[in-house]
Amino acid sequence: MKAIFLLRVAESRVLTGLGVLLLPAVPPETLASMQLHTSLAVRMVFPYKQEFSATASVEEVARVGEPAFRALLLTQPSAAVVPVGTEVWLVG
């Protein structure tokens, strides 16, 4: 399967006990077509070109006064803050 671009990280937040929420720079169209809580194999390409494989789930984020949008939640226990500008690709 060819890798599919999912999003570029604008912000990441550690959610204690859940993982790390990756908020997109722009609303990701690819994630909008996926069911919530779908588990995905992803590859992250950090701005300095190091790559990291992970598992993420599709989530929806709603903020007051703004339309809801999809984001990704890294679910492995070792997840840490992800640098701004990181690209996230679907690989499996």
Q: List the CATH number of the domain containing 67.
A: 2.40.30
Give yes or no for a contact between 55 and 75, defined as CB atoms under 8 angstroms apart: yes
Number of domains in the chain: 1
Phi first, then psi, for residue 29 (nearest 5°) are -65, -40
The pLDDT of residue 1: 65
Tokens 């690709």 sit at which residue?
89
pTM: 0.90
Each residue's pLDDT tens digit, 15-57: 888 899 999 998 888 998 899 999 999 999 999 989 999 999 9
| 8 Å CB contact between 51 and 44 | yes
Per the structure, the complete domain to which residue 29 belongs is given by 4-90
Tally: H helices and E strands in the chain: 1, 6
User: Residue 16: in which H helix or E strand, if any?
Assistant: none
